Structure 1
Amino acid sequence: MTRILVLYYSSYGHVRALARAEAEGARSVAGTQVDIRRVPETVPAALRKSAGYVDDDTPTATPADLADYDAVIVGTPTRFGMMAGQMKQFLDQAGGLWARNALVGKVGAVFASTGSQHGGHEATLLTTQIPLMHFGMVIAGLPYSFAGQTSRAGIIGGAPYGAGTIAGADGALQPTATDLDGARFQGAHVARLAAALATVNHLTEAA
């Protein structure tokens, strides 16, 4: 059984919607077990309420949990062209995993939401991949075999670096059908890669 963690932070629900689609895609691959978890919130409750953050009862993860999975798919909104501070703080606590090479050879992938098409969408995807590479993970993007990312039908999120959505400056835009399809595609892509790598690692250990 291949184990995949979809780990996300979401303020207004856009990234959470993509996370659920990523999980759906991963589960479509036979022999895959998927858990969806969020990183802990760091914004005080009063500020969350005044800013209109959506409530989220998804269970939280701890950094130690990452070692239990064959792949980790990370989702984050964009904050000034980079991952949200909540996600950065979570990853910054994974030094113990890094020190013992606990994530080396596992699959890592990223998806994101931004307020505009040029508001750091690709920058967030790429820079969020950097700590995953420091952990020794094998990075999976969103291949062009998902043809939806070249559509001219409207505002489309995502890039070869990962799935995504454009929320609009006021957050009014919800993930499109194409955005969600891209997340499902990426989830399935990660699941297949993770299964293949897990098989190779198992055979190597048995040799």
Structure 2
Amino acid sequence: MSAPKVAIVIYSMYGHVAKHEILAKMHAPPKGDYPLLAPVDLVKFDAFLFGIPTRYGNFPAQWKTFWDATGGLWASGGLWGKQAGLFISTSGLGGGQESTAIAAMSTLTHHGISYVPLGYKPAFGQLSSLDEAHGGSPWGAGTLTKADGSRFPSPLELEIATIQGKTFWERVASKAA
């Protein structure tokens, strides 16, 4: 059996997940050199790691718009049986990393996409560390950005993200085997 195809799909205004083009009026940084994914392209993959920011404890309108364009895939069951995980950025502690993940579950569930959480087992020491303020939870890796967007992922947050990527791949690959 061939290795599963995994897409890392991000939306980022300030570059905390990765740089992404936003309207110039919003004074966002320029888009990074990443390919754009149309909603219909999701069927080409077996699994997804979605990176999204939080807006007021929920996912942003742009992410909702992306999913709103998947109505045909929903009606045909085109994404049923695929797997997904999330990594999330917020402006600070209590900014909504977990509530954003929970809100995303409705969309994933309607499509029949199975959620693969990070959980505590692979990253207990990192997630439970109180040595520094950091993002991430058993729902998935995360980063704290500060309200002005000036903070980028810390080494600890990057370590948690690396653990999530590794364990996500292991779980997706074991299902494909």
Q: Hey, what's the Cα distance between the residues in 2 that align with 1:132 and 1:94?
A: 11
Secondary structure in structure 1 of the residue aligned to 2:172: helix
* TM-fit CA distance, 1:173: 1.4
41, 44, 56: which one aligns with 1:80: 56
What runs of 5+ residues in structure 1 fail to find an aligned partner? 18-37, 200-207
Aligned match of 1:14: 16
Residue in 2 that maps onto 1:129: 105
1:3 paired with 2:15, answer no
TM-score w.r.t. length of structure 2: 0.90
Q: Is the 8 A contact 1:142 1:160 kept in 2?
A: yes
Question: CA, structure 1 residues 137+52, in 2 after alignment: closer, same or farther (shift >3 Å)?
Answer: closer
Match of 2:151 in 1: 173
How far 1:182 sits from its partner (Å)? 1.2
TM-score (norm 1): 0.78
- Residue 189 of structure 1, aligned match among 119, 142, 167: 167
Contact 2:90/2:143, CA 8 A, preserved across alignment: yes
**Mind listing any 5+ residue stretches in structure 2 that lack a counterpart?**
none
Once superposed, which parts of structure 1, at least 4 consecutive aligned residues long, lie more than 4 Å away?
none
1:57 corresponds, among 5, 30, 33, to 33
Q: Counterparts of 1:95 and 1:3 in 2: how far apart (Å)? A: 22
Residue type of the partner of 1:14? H
Match of 1:99 in 2: 75
Q: Paired residue for 1:44?
A: 23
Is residue 2:139 matched to residue 1:161?
A: yes
Q: Which residue of 2 aligns with 1:113?
A: 89
Higher strand residue share = 1
Write out per-residue CA displacement over residues 79-127 of structure 1, whole angstroms, 9 at most, x where no aligned residue: 1111111111111111111111121111111111000111222111221
**Root mean square deviation, CA, Å:** 1.6
Does the residue aligned with 2:13 lie in a helix, a strand or coil? coil
Percentage identity across paired residues of the two chains: 36
Aligned mates of 2:157, 2:105 — CA distance in 1: 20
The question of whether the paired residues in 2 share the 8 Å contact of 1:11 and 1:54 is answered with no
Q: Larger relative CO (CA 8 A, sep 6+): 1 or 2?
A: 1
